[in-house]
Amino acid sequence: MPTRGSFPLGLGYLAAVLLRAGFEVELLDFNIRTFSRAAMTRLLIAKAKECDGVGFSGMVTMLGTIQWMAQVVKQVAPHVPVVVGGSVASPMPEFLLQRTAADIACIGEGEETVCELANALEKNEPIGSVLGLCIKEGKTIYRTGTRPLIKNLDALPFPAWDHFEIHQYAKNNYFVNTPYRSMNLIAGRGCPYRCTFCYRNFGNRVRVRSVENILLEIETLIERYGVHHFDFQDELFTLNDAHVRQFCSKVIEKRLNITWRCLGRVNLAEGELYKLMKAAGCHWLGFGIESGSPKMLKVMDKRINLDEARQAIALGRQAGIHVTGTFIMGLPGENSETISETVRFCKENKLYNKPFYPVPYPGTLLFESLVRSGTLHDGNMESLIGKMERDATELIINLTDMSDTDLIRLKEDAESEIRGAVAGTRGFKALILLAKETAAIWGISGLVRLFFKMTARKWGKLLKK
């Protein structure tokens, strides 16, 4: 259960390693389509009785859903072990097992763990020797030990795309508006930075796949499913300059007719690298700038400054790449002055993106600091985590000294001011730029397809009102 609309890479990798190990795998994907609770219940009941084990994977925002689904499984198949993985399990596995009917939580990367667990269950052997687990046996909950990170990511098979509604995912174009089919993938795992609000799925140690392995996945997706746009979901794609240069050079050498999007970091900005990326098909580059206030950047431990941010935005645009940025309003210390600084920065740099409220996800430094201060405790933690199912554009906890009313008003006013100053003046230019890029990459046919896709989306939104 990942971000709705994007392909669930974690589940895809788990299915792939289990299939390669010779296990039978059946997937219920509740991500790509909307199911009623009654329909989901019927599916779970039908499948749970046939399985030797049931696994759920999701973000912490899905805690409430996983509580309900695990209970459904246990009611009809109490003997079947229920395993939960993903960010809903890894940061607080004991908390998860105490508050759900699940038997086992998988901590961290699951590919090796799930295969060893499945093998032990199949042979009816003790699972306590399988590293990377937290196990509930009666009223006892214990961890089995830390599993080392996977060193060679190339050893993993590609996600089991054929076990999902892959063509529906390919049509989604979830992250950016492109005229052709798209897919998300990951070239490396880990991020060496420690921003206070960020949950690091794969820890601080960075590991990357070989360029050859990444290109083979891209070429496979092109050949099998007609995908020509790729969204790299690496936490920090541009960290390894040499690796990115090698990837871009190979894409150009192979004359792959693709576009792609990735995330970078402003203190690592390099104009010549961005030009090479653009030549290799990179048309979208996102930066986590997060604030236009030096004070708030320190609060976040961003380890960047605003001059670096301005320079990175300029270099990306000079290379012909569409630059985006994310912003957070409402961390401890935020006030009307710091929000005004962010508004000025965005207007000055013609950068608009709907700002987020901070969410103290379990496993983040922000969450840990709130636990230490007593703001979060056993009495309110489950309630707060339940509210995380809402989008981060909704306020679920006020970490400032302002009232909820004042914080919401300041954020909404800031958003409106930035949108009016930036989106209004750049909207037509952005549309013209998109049309030019589309025609250059896909020709007139691609431009026509983009027009009809955007028109269909507009009418779809109107019909829903």
Which CATH number fits the domain that encloses residue 20? 3.40.50.280
326 with 424, same domain: the answer is yes
Do both 420 and 283 map to the same domain?
yes
On whether residue 407 sits in a domain, the answer given is yes
What is the pLDDT tens value at each position of the chain, 465 positions in all?
A: 334 578 999 999 999 999 999 999 998 888 877 788 898 899 889 888 888 899 999 889 889 999 999 999 999 999 999 999 999 999 999 999 999 999 999 999 999 999 999 999 999 999 999 999 999 999 999 999 999 999 999 999 999 999 999 999 998 877 788 888 999 999 999 999 999 999 988 888 999 999 999 999 999 999 999 999 999 999 999 999 999 999 999 999 999 999 999 999 999 999 999 999 999 999 999 999 999 999 999 999 999 999 999 999 999 999 999 999 999 999 999 999 999 999 999 999 999 989 999 999 999 999 999 999 999 998 899 999 988 887 788 999 999 999 999 999 999 999 999 999 986 654 445 555 545 555 544 555 554 555 555 444 444 443 343
Amino acid at 333: G
Helix and strand counts by DSSP (H, E) for the chain: 16, 12
pTM: 0.89
Whether residue 64 sits in one domain with residue 18: yes
Gyration radius from the chain CA atoms:
23
What Cα–Cα distance (Å) separates residue 68 from each residue in 62, 73, 337, 381, 455?
A: 10, 9, 44, 18, 39
Residue 107: the pLDDT is 96
Q: And the tokens for 76?
A: 């009809």
Residue 48, token pair as written in the block: 């749970």
Q: Which residues face 134 on adjacent strands? A: 105, 143
Q: Are residues 195 and 51 in the same domain?
A: no
Distance CA 185, CA 247 (A): 14
In which residue are the tokens 């399990």 written? 89
- CATH code of 303's domain: 3.20.20.70
**Residue 173 to residue 175: CA distance in whole angstroms:** 6
- Residue numbers of the domain that contains 420: 173-358+399-452
- Report yes or no: 188 and 17 within 8 Å, Cβ to Cβ: no
Residue 205 and residue 104 in one domain: no
**Residue ranges in 59-159 assigned as alpha helix (H):** 63-76, 93-99, 111-122
Residues 113 and 225 in one domain: no
Are residues 120 and 201 both part of a single domain? no
Whether residue 105 contacts residue 89, with contact meaning beta carbons closer than 8 Å, is answered with: yes
CA atoms within 13 A on the CB side of 140: 5
Q: How far, rounded to the nearest angstrom, does the alpha carbon of residue 260 sit from its chain's CA centroid? A: 16
Residue 227: inside a domain = yes
Distance (Å, rounded) from C-alpha 396 to C-alpha 399? Answer: 10
- Exposed / middle / buried, residue 402 (Cβ in 10 Å: 0-12, 13-18, 19+): middle
- Give the list of residues 6+ apart from residue 352 with CB closer than 8 angstroms, or none: 346, 418, 419, 422, 423, 426
Last residue of a domain, one of 143, 162, 190: 143
Output the pLDDT for position 464: 42
- Domain identity same for 49 and 188: no
What is residue 97's predicted lDDT score, i.e. its pLDDT? 97
- Classify residue 207: in a domain, yes or no: yes
For residues 188 and 270, state if they share a domain: yes
Q: How many residues in the chain?
A: 465
Residue 288 in any domain: the answer is yes
Q: Is residue 376 part of a domain?
A: no
Would 106 be classed as within a structural domain? yes
Last residue of a domain, one of 122, 143, 164: 143
The confidence score (pLDDT) of residue 456 equals: 46
3-state SS assignment for residue 162: helix
Query: Is 256 part of any domain?
Result: yes
DSSP string, 373-423: HTSS-TTTHHHHHHHTTS-TTS-S---SSS-HHHHHHHHHHHHHHHIIIII
Query: What is the separation of C-alpha 199 from the centre of its chain, rounded to a whole number of angstroms?
Result: 10
Number of domains in the chain: 2
CA–CA–CA angle 54, 48, 2 (5° rounding): 45
What's the CA gap between 139 and 332, in Å, rounded? 38
Q: Name the domain boundary from 90, 123, 143.
A: 143
Same domain as 49, residue 190:
no
Tokens 């979060």, residue located: 376
Q: Is residue 114 part of a domain?
A: yes
Q: What are 353-372's pLDDT values in tens digits?
A: 899 999 999 999 999 999 99
Same domain, 46 and 98: yes
Q: Are 117 and 23 in contact (CB under 8 A)?
A: no
From residue 225, alpha-carbon distances to 24, 25, 95, 118, 308 in Å are: 24, 22, 40, 30, 39
Answer yes or no: do 125 and 196 share one domain.
no
Element (H, E) at 150: none
